[in-house]
Amino acid sequence: MDRLRIRGGLPLHGEVPISGAKNAALPELCAALLSAEPLTLRNVPRLRDVATMRTLLEGMGVQVRTHGERGGMTLQAREPLQPLAPYELVKTMRASILVLGPLLARCGRARVSLPGGCAIGSRPVDQHIKGLQAMGAEITVEHGYIEARLAAGRTRLRGARITTDMVTVTGTENLMMAATLAEGETVLENAAQEPEVVDLAELLIAMGARIEGHGSSRIHIQGVPALRGAEHTVVADRIEAGTFLCAVAAAGGQAWLRGARADHLDAVVDKLLAAGVQVQAQPDGMGVASPGGAALRAQSFRTTEYPGFPTDMQAQFMALNCVAQGPSAVTETIFENRFMHVQELVRLGAQIRIDGRTAFVEGGQRLSGATVMATDLRASASLVIAALVAEGETVVERIYHLDRGYDQMERKLRALGADIERIA
């Protein structure tokens, strides 16, 4: 199992490209199931989750071809399709649930294993099921599989007004994709507003879908009989960009993040500016300059749905707070188990106390290298950031989590001057 060895204490300088967003690419790969015509995506990140999704789609009969240097991928889902998502693939990635809506809309049936992924807390699929049932699907959960089919005598889903009990990104995406081929209008209330949802909607519109209101809490979808092929560039990964912002902020230095979208990171940028980090937004990327964590001011924050502070940036900013000056309180409202990185940060010398859903961080600590273990995707990134600042050598184990969501992270950090290497 691969590990990362990092020798800390070096500032970061230079330029790195920000890859396409994992959380946009995965649903957009699934959108290929909605049409028999070719779908070409550009800027698809090279990630383990993307490779898993490709294998899953190919198992259903989708033809997939990669091309070009910018992450080009063309998919074609000609009939007949095999509407099955087996446990062996789904267990490693919760985003696999995103095949459920497209398969049901296109094939009239689907058998999808209950998903796996990072153990950061409950992410129930009941909202997906509730919405599809409102659209006329008959769904049961048996032996670890979601069994879904159209009601007898129906050839298409039907439009419905659906209000989810919570804001759910994958739920919004699944129901939006299913609704594109339904009869009549579907209205999604309490919809997720994340940039990745907007990017998926723009792709579906390019395929011929009729969607309005994406980016707001109410999305209107007027179903059409069929969708066509399209070409689309995956939006830049705001979480990767935010991770590099925190890395440069903690280690000190100056960097240019090519392709990063500052307008997708308002909450994170606001906290970095308050901490004393310089952030410059340009149409083609973002610049960041920092004197280093010891010269910064720790910031309290509370995670919430977009456009609030993203839960996927909580661990990375907490690592910054460990070395910035002063106390801070980090409250996690989205996932109940997303403090598993805390004990590993403590191994590096951080002072953190957990009380319920709030972590109290005493900043200004001098971290020292140690062997630590990644417990989930974003926890991995927080340990890398802490290691960049720590004195001596840090070894981060179980970095397969990191490979699920970051495109060649160690190479990009090395390009910025970090002393980091992958050990097989």
225 assigned to a ligand binding site: no
49 assigned to a ligand binding site: no
43 assigned to a ligand binding site: no
Q: What φ, ψ does residue 267 adopt, rounded to 5°?
A: -65, -40
Calpha distance 231→229 (Å, rounded): 7
Calpha distance 393→388 (Å, rounded): 9
Burial level of 416, CB count in 10 A (0-12/13-18/19+)?
buried
Q: Which residues are 41's β-sheet partners?
A: 73, 232
334 assigned to a ligand binding site: yes
Residue 254 per-residue DSSP state: E
94 assigned to a ligand binding site: yes
277 assigned to a ligand binding site: no
Point out the catalytic residue in the list 30, 107, 118, 322: 118
Give one word for 255, left, alpha or beta, with left for phi > 0 and alpha for psi -120 to 50. beta
5 assigned to a ligand binding site: no
Decide if 2 contacts 406 (C-beta within 8 A). no
Catalytic, 118? Answer: yes
Determine how β-strand 230-233 pairs with β-strand 39-42. Answer: parallel
Strand residues in 43-153 grouped as ranges (E): 63-67, 72-76, 84-85, 109-113, 137-142, 145-150
126 assigned to a ligand binding site: yes
User: How far separated are the first and last CA of the chain, in Å rounded?
Assistant: 6
323 assigned to a ligand binding site: no
146 assigned to a ligand binding site: no
Burial level of 34, CB count in 10 A (0-12/13-18/19+)?
buried
Q: Name residue 89's amino acid.
A: L
Strand residues in 1-102 grouped as ranges (E): 3-7, 12-17, 39-42, 63-67, 72-76, 84-85
List residues forming the annotated binding site for UDP-N-acetyl-alpha-D-glucosamine. 94, 123-127, 312, 334
List residues forming the annotated binding site for phosphoenolpyruvate. 22-23
List residues forming the annotated binding site. 22-23, 94, 123-127, 312, 334
Catalytic residue positions, numbered? 118
